[in-house]
Chains A and B, each alone.
Chain A
Amino acid sequence: MQTVDMKPKHSFFRRLLPRNLPIRYKLLVHFLLITILPSLILGLLTDFVVNRIIEKQMNENTLQLISKVNRSLEFYVGNVQNTTYLISYNPEVREFLYQDKPDQAAREEALEFMRGFPTLQTEIAGIMVVNAKGDYLSNDMYSRSASKDLTLETWYQEAVAGKGIFKVIGHPYGRNVTTHANYKDTEVVSAVRAILDPDSQKVMGVVLIDLKLRVIVETAQDVRLGKTGLLMVMDEKGEPIYVPKQLGFQKIPLMWLKGQPSGQFVETINDRKLQFIFRKSSFTNWSTIGVFSTEEASPEVRQIRLYVGTFVFVVCLLGITASFALSHGISRPIHRLMAFMHRAESGDLKTRYWGDTMDEVGMLGRSYNSMLTKIGDLLQLTEKQERQKREAELRILQAQIKPHFLYNTLNTIDWMARKQGAQDVSEMVGALSKLYRIGLSKGNEFIPLAEEFDHVRSYLQIQKLRYRDKLKYSLDLDPDIAHLSSLKVILQPIVENAIYHGIKERRGPGTITVRGVRRDHAIELSVIDDGIGMDGQTLALMRERLDHPMQASAEAAGTGYGLANVQARLKLTYGTSDCGISIDSEPNVGTTVKLKFPIHEEGG
């Protein structure tokens, strides 16, 4: 398939150069890029943008939810604060705080009053009022050991430090106070407020209220943060207020919040990358933090990714199919055309490109076909012209042996000789005349064998008169074939050779025998002499000349070897079929030249 000519050295890498790739692959790569690249880019872009948008929305959403949660928490804590005020307004409570020894009835009434609050506000686990002497009032809480002074407790001190401002303490770890219903430290969150005498601003006592964590838990759990988000609550000291067990950790470093009132950050805990979104409540100073796992995109994003991915896949599939089909569709006709050209290259000029498309390849094909036709025509024309040239040459060749003029002149000489009584001159001229008469043969190319033999007999007669006893000859023609036609003036040049190169060169007299017989469908004429013969080299040269008669006759013009001429004529006339001249010779023995040509049924 690939017919690119390349240097063997860099063949492989050069083949991979874009401009050297087969058209099919060029097209393929281009189509693939066009279909796949845009859709991939589109898919990635969409994914990126959508991801960003959804993330942003989710974060905003989360912050809003967290704000709501904060509001709820603030509400509960606000209630607790109100309760501390309500309690401090109660006269019986005031009496307990102010009196040195508050009496039992007052205590009972104060306790009765306090009992109402946890009843109505069931999120309160317990209320305790402690006066400055360490004596306390409570329905639900009591100090674990009477020996420890309650006023020395951290929570008391914090309330005092707050100077009458409500303060949330957080989980009451290590406290000397417990609730009768046995709430664990982790199940409640404490708040305190010091009760001050308005005039002296002296601390008269502290109200301690325990808030059940349950309400915070319910509020935090009520919020659904996406698929994997959970809420946790942390106080301003970094102590956990509520951390769902599923998170797997107890607390996070406060510094992650960077002291901001709200924000978000990403950190790794327990080898898990988590996103935190938080908002701080200015009232409770608690930070409500939404915790998300970053390792998985929200389900919406996953869905979008799925759809986009499927889309890209489908487009890719279609694109690949289309690319292959298209590139194939273009390259295949081209290859077919190439295949036809190949065949023409290797010599088969007859086949034509077959294709019925109207496109460029089809047009190329048709142009190619017409080109081949023209070539064929040109070849034929050349052949014809060659033949004509040859025929002209042939005629010129023959014209070299121009008989007309000489024949007429000879007739004149014959008459003059006879007039002067020179008989032998007349004989010679007569023979010469006959020679040329037959040679002319009124322009016919073919004469009966009998006449051809007469022709060579005349020639021999003339030569005999010249060479006398040196030359002897005999002619023998089979009478059956005497009427058959033969090319004219074929024996004479051979006999001429025999005389000049055979007999003349030998010592003593020589004999030339001319025979004519039938051999199957051919006529065989032989000229046998016992002249000096030819050596091997000369013989080979002669034979070569006979193999290339056209060149030989052109070269040998003037040197006397009419052999090539006869051969040329024979070949031209009878084609390359069973005809031609064969030579055999042996030095000092003689030479035999045989002519063979097929029987021409035309007479004369």
Chain B
Amino acid sequence: MKKPLLLIVYGLVTGLFLLFFWYYGIRDDKQNDWNENPIGLMGDIEEKYVLVTFQSDLDYWRSIMKGFEDAAQLLNVSIEFRGASQYDANEEITVLEQVIARNPAGIAVTAINPEALNATIDKAVNAGIPIVLFDSGAPDSRASSFLGTDNYSAGATAARELGRLLSGQGDAAVLTQPKQLNHQERTKGFVETIQQEFPGIRVIEIADGKGSVPGSAQAAKTLLDTHPDIDGFFATQANGGVGIGQTLRERGLTGRKVVIGFDTDKGTLDMVKDGTINATLAQGTWNMGYWSLIQLFHQNHDLVQPNSEDMNGAHPLPPFIDTGITIVTKDNVDNYYAK
């Protein structure tokens, strides 16, 4: 009678213990976790990605920054914005080197000109920091990707719009920043398309808008003075359009000259709305920022194409993402204002 009693007691105690052990030891109380929606891409708030610009106070960058920020929110990482305050290549190199020294999780940089940053970009690559270019590229660098507008086709689009508005006849001038690659490509696209598709239109001058509103206004004034019969303008950047518009207003020539602007800053949009500028080309700036961070995140977490360590072989990331271009006219300009 005592043997089974002992066994029963043992069994009871062991059973209790196993229950206890399961409850406190093994059980992973999922029910007590916050309702985390399991997202596939989830980073650490400790990861820092840096966006490097030049002329850092340009409003143009704001939209790109927002895209970058939105991606950071989604991926739960932290970000920083740095840049050269002036339009100065050396300053941007310095800033970029400082950023590299802090060993961030990734860098998105826009190149002030196609060559100046190459060495520094390659330094980042050598340090193992994922680095992509946006808006203004540097094709000879070893950055993993370039996100930006197909500038050539942007220029071509502008040419077609101008040609349409001028009905294929007239003189046109281009206001640009001659040293910047993206502007060069736009200019090229514009000029070549005019040549190929609108033989009746002549590109009489390619002027330097100095990258500012006053500079562009001044350049426009000079153009009007030298070529009073000029019919149309194409500005390859936002300031250019606004500058030209201001000059036209001063001279009372609004509506009499065709202006194709670029970008969708408020000044340009207002001028499109009131007709001073006929059309402007909207770049996919938000996309540039957003997809830059997505790409950097992927490369940082090694979520890239397998077996692409050998840089001579397959690209880990898409080497070029065309963020698109759209024509903004009075008809759809309201969509481009902030809601």
- Residues in chain A within 8 A of chain B (CB atoms): 1, 24, 115-116, 118-119, 122, 139-140, 142, 178-183, 212, 214, 217-218, 221-222, 228, 230, 244-248, 293, 295-296, 302, 305-306, 309-310, 313, 316-317, 320, 324, 328
Contact = CB atoms under 8 A, between A and B. Distances in A.
B338 A296 contact: no
Contact of B13 (A140, A230, A248, A317): A317
B33 A182 contact: no
Contacts of A230: 34
A140 B81 contact: no
A273 to B, nearest CB: 11
A139 B213 CA distance: 14
Interface in B1-25: 1-2, 6, 9-10, 13-14, 16-17, 20-21, 24-25
Contact of A183 (B25, B34, B66): B66
A317 B7 CA distance: 11
Contact of B85 (A119, A217, A316): A119
**4 nearest CB pairs, A to B:** A246-B34, A122-B81, A115-B57, A119-B57
A139 B59 contact: yes
B135 to A, nearest CB: 15
A228 B34 contact: yes
B225 interface: no
User: Size range of the interface on B?
Assistant: 35 or more
Contact of A214 (B32, B72, B83): B72
Residue in B25, B46, B72 whose Cβ sees the most chain A Cβ within 10 Å: B25
Contacts of B72: 214
A222 B66 CA distance: 21
A306 B16 CA distance: 13
A124 to B, nearest CB: 11
A260 to B, nearest CB: 26
Contacts of B303: none
7 contacts: A180-B62, A182-B63, A214-B79, A296-B29, A310-B21, A313-B16, A328-B2
B196 interface: no
A306 B24 contact: yes
Contact of A309 (B6, B21, B80): B21
Nearest to B1: A1
Contacts of A1: 1
Given A180-B59, A310-B21, A324-B6, A248 B34 contact: yes
A324 B10 CA distance: 11
B164 interface: no
Given A306-B21, A317-B14, 11 more contacts: A24-B2, A221-B76, A222-B46, A245-B37, A246-B36, A309-B21, A309-B24, A310-B21, A317-B10, A320-B6, A320-B13
B62 A246 contact: no
Contacts of A24: 2
B251 interface: no
Given A122-B80, A180-B265, A309-B17, A222 B45 contact: yes
A181 B9 contact: no
Interface string B58-91: 0100110110010011001011110101000000
A140 B35 CA distance: 37
Given A119-B56, A309-B17, A320 B10 contact: yes
B34 A247 contact: yes
B266 interface: yes
Contacts of A306: 21, 24-25
B63 A116 contact: no
A222 B73 CA distance: 13
A181 B33 CA distance: 36
Contacts of A214: 69, 72-73, 79
A142 B10 contact: no
A218 B45 CA distance: 7
A246 B338 contact: no
Contact of A122 (B9, B65, B339): B65
Contacts of A119: 56-57, 83, 85
A310 B25 CA distance: 10
Interface string B77-112: 011110101000000000000000000000000000
A116 B57 CA distance: 6
A182 B338 contact: yes
Contacts of A179: 338
A302 B24 contact: yes
Contacts of A140: 59, 62
Nearest to B20: A309
B306 to A, nearest CB: 31
Nearest to A309: B20
Contact of B62 (A142, A181, A309): A181
Contacts of A295: 29, 32
Contacts of A248: 34-35
B21 A181 contact: no
A116 B59 CA distance: 11
Contact of A181 (B6, B20, B63): B63
B179 to A, nearest CB: 22
Residue in A180, A302, A305, A317 whose Cβ sees the most chain B Cβ within 10 Å: A180
A228 B338 contact: no
A37 to B, nearest CB: 14
